[in-house]
Amino acid sequence: MAAAEAAAARRAPDICPLCERPIPADAKSSRHHLTPRLKGGTHKGTVRLHQICHSAIHARFSETELAKRLADVESLRSDPELSEFIAWVKIKPPNFHAPTRMTKARRGAKRQRD
């Protein structure tokens, strides 16, 4: 029975740790470095996320902010801005995808830096 359980586990889709929806094989997904590579996270942990969830993170936060205060899934999930997105996307089908735009606040901050 152990071999059958192992085979079933291999077929089961991953679960997105951000929105907690399954990630089907045909869904757009990507690996998120919990600590950005530019901030020393090349060999630190990664998690597989729906692409829309991954894009939502980077649309809202800078690499510095991710490294300093959002370097784990629980911190990301508890952030008020991202928790609104999670509540919205959680009711979508597992393979749902839509374009993600940078938030107005993030665009303004980026323009000030440039």
pLDDT tens string 9-41 = 566 679 999 999 999 998 999 999 998 888 876
Give pLDDT < 50 ranges for the chain. Answer: 114
pLDDT of amino acid 99: 81
Whole-number Å distance between alpha carbons of 105 and 108: 5
**In sequence order, which ranges of the chain are alpha helices (DSSP H)?**
2-11, 51-60, 63-69, 73-78, 80-89, 104-113
pLDDT of amino acid 44: 83
pLDDT of amino acid 36: 85
pLDDT of amino acid 90: 95
pLDDT of amino acid 85: 95
SS3 of residue 49 by DSSP: strand
Whole-number Å distance between alpha carbons of 6 and 37: 33
Q: What is the largest CA-CA distance in the chain?
A: 60
